[in-house]
Structure 1
Amino acid sequence: MTTSSPAPKITLRRAVPDDAVAAADVLLRSRAAALPTVAWPRSDDEVRGHFRNVVVPHRETWVAEASSGGGIVGVMVLAGDKVSQLYLLPDWRGHGIGDLFVALAKERSPGGLTLWTFQVNEPAHRFYERHGFVAVEHTDGSGNEEREPDVRYDWQP
């Protein structure tokens, strides 16, 4: 007889300073897996420093923490009505964590949301469209650090 263990409980909470490196590592691991063709302008250490010195202390940063000892498995950063970052560890995709983050973002900004994602990130397009976001602008990437073509999505209630 085979038994499966229950899915770990996920808790969303505001990030604290001690979460900065783990949150940055979620971003780094996620984008390495999902976006291997994108050239990143900052080193991993620069990203960790940015999270430690800017993102966690000065931005509305949320983390998803697994009760099973999995630690921080997702991160979302909000800037008013903008979802500026939403990343999950690759092994934690498809477990509803992104859905929880989007619901929280909509709750925090009930008048509407906007976000950018790269044009090559088709799974992100499907995810956001499933949550009611609509592509409203495509660019050649000249306005972002990565110089990667991107798309702006908006959600209106």
Structure 2
Amino acid sequence: MAEVWLRSFAAALPAVRRAHNDDEVRNWFSHVVVPQYETWVAVGGGSVVGLLVLDKGTELEQLYLDPSWRGQGLGDRFMSLAKRQRPQGLELWTFQVNKPARRFYERHGFIAVERTDGLRNEEREPDIRYIWRP
């Protein structure tokens, strides 16, 4: 999962400063994400090619695809899964500069409800809060 996250972040957000190095990201997935969150993966060719992470509430924590798997419907399948798992609604943050992610979420019915200057996230990157309600 961490390897997909690292490749996806590098491809989608090359200008965004990462708050943690590769080993810290791997450690976070191993010791925080997998044991504490509801995690789903997509496997292709024997490797993880996408991931979805939900918290116990309504937060969609992570949705990342290996760059070579974008545009093939996998993100749509993950979003359908997330909505089935959280039929009461979903919330998420994404960076303002991530226009493809913003278009994706808006296409799936998410509405932007808050914009920040980034001072509250580790990357210090302006972000947007999105909410989806059925």
Tell me the TM-score normalized by structure 1.
0.83
CA–CA distance in structure 2, aligned partners of residues 142 and 46 of structure 1:
21
Q: What is the root-mean-square deviation in Å for CA atoms of aligned residues?
A: 0.8
Say whether 1:49 aligns with 2:34: no
1:84-99 → structure 2 map (5 Å cutoff): 84-99=61-76
Deviations 1:57-86 (A, max 9, x none): 2211110112xx251100111012110111
Equivalence for 1:144:
121
Amino acid at match of 1:39: R
Equivalence for 1:32:
10
Deviations 1:43-70 (A, max 9, x none): 000000111111112211110112xx25
CA–CA distance in structure 2, aligned partners of residues 81 and 95 of structure 1:
26
Equivalence for 1:8:
none
Amino acid at match of 2:41: V
Tell me the TM-score normalized by structure 2.
0.97
1:1-157 → structure 2 map (5 Å cutoff): 23-66=1-44, 69-79=45-55, 80-157=57-134
Gaps of 5+ in 1: 1-22
List 4+ stretches of structure 1 deviating above 2 A. none
Larger CA Rg, structure 1 vs 2 = 1
Deviations 1:78-109 (A, max 9, x none): 01211011100001000111101111110111
Amino acid at match of 1:130: R
Identity level (%)? 64
CA–CA distance in structure 1, aligned partners of residues 90 and 28 of structure 2:
24
